[in-house]
Structure 1
């Protein structure tokens, strides 16, 4: 049974989310302030964290930075919860490496779907297969990624996006397909989320950032010159 840690100071919201996750056969841990949430994350190492941004003790952005500093919690997928009007906090969270976000008020059933989709994206793939695409190398079963032989730390979402594009190298991929097939979104409302992930991914590629191209009016592609 996979464990979800909910860090949310509004107890009624936390309990509602917990109830829906438990109905979907998840084990749930709760924390109602940032400091306690950070301690529970480090102690329990949950499979996924649902993190509110506005909390007493330690806000969600500061907590998230701490999670990413620690080797043991760095790879835990995180869904951030934001209030309406917190656009800058939401974008900051995505740029720091959060995997997803939801804006309050939200549907608990939709959150459960997001949790399932993110866990699926974060799960190791079978067989330990590798893919080499130009300067990029993927080890699928452990979500490891290398650029010119050097390890490059990607979130699970970044890894899946880059892998999807490299498996279809030199061909423009429609942003709707990326949102649907890789990120599990049914509409285009999360286009800015995709763009933020791509911006962060391009930055991580360093000198190879030009391989990740924006195709205006279409989406994105990985361009690999013929060897």
Structure 2
């Protein structure tokens, strides 16, 4: 699964860099444009998944850009979040009327920004269809809510099922505890990150022999892999020499 692309249209380098750093740390791929001309060039090159658009820009304003992109068939469906120091109701309404999907007033917390980005992406994402995901001998059927390993039906709770489904949809990729909390439990739920460890343990137990497919990546998080690492057997100790062999 590709990292969601975020186009940051912001003329203040310090703010843009702070946003970009937090986005990268949270699994997004940020691109920065400092004015309307650069922003349009970036959009023409690659369509982002979401746009963070500052209201006050040199040249064409963010409000004008939002209207233009909403009128363009290619960019009309890209979520736009307005960033501005203007906080009164009239300005918020103006931004939304111009086509923005959401509105963040400066100064804002990075947690709020990330939550709003995820929220607009969820609203624009198509409903996930059922269907089957398979990794080696492990098969999950979302339509029938069944999991089998080596053709043996497994039993697990709903949270373990959702966790497994997400991991299988993004196989071989390492996910931090906070990422799993956001994607499996939802970013509106405030629970301890260690809760993830408990459910991973339960998931491994439910998978039985397939539990080794869920790997812990020290200092990073968890992943599911088709080729779990198996500890190499310890080297055999050299045999002691017998008196006869020593004499030989």
Distance 1:24 1:85, change over 3 A: closer
Could you list the runs of 4 or more consecutive aligned residues of structure 1 that deviate by over 4 angstroms after TM superposition?
A: none
* 1:124 partner SS: coil
1:6 is matched with 8
Please say if residues 33 and 56 of structure 1, whose CA atoms lie closer than 8 Å, have aligned partners that are also in contact: yes
2:55 is matched with 53
Structure 2 stretches lacking a partner, 5+ long: 131-186, 190-248
Matched, 1:105 2:107: yes
- Higher RCO structure, 1 or 2 (CA under 8 Å, sep 6+): 1
**Distance in structure 2 (CA, Å) of the matches to 1:119 and 1:28:** 15
Shift of 1:96: 2.5
**Distance in structure 1 (CA, Å) of the matches to 2:92 and 2:41:** 23
Choose the corresponding residue for 1:75, options 59, 74, 77.
77
1:126 is matched with 128
Distance 1:109 1:58, change over 3 A: same
Please say if residues 67 and 99 of structure 2, whose CA atoms lie closer than 8 Å, have aligned partners that are also in contact: no
Shift of 1:36: 1.1
Higher percent of residues as helix: 1
2:39 is matched with 37
Shift of 1:57: 1.6
Distance 1:94 1:38, change over 3 A: same
Structure 1 stretches lacking a partner, 5+ long: 129-183, 187-227
CA RMSD of aligned residues (A): 2.0
Larger Rg: 2
**How many residues matched?**
131
TM-score by length of 2: 0.50
1:91 is matched with 93
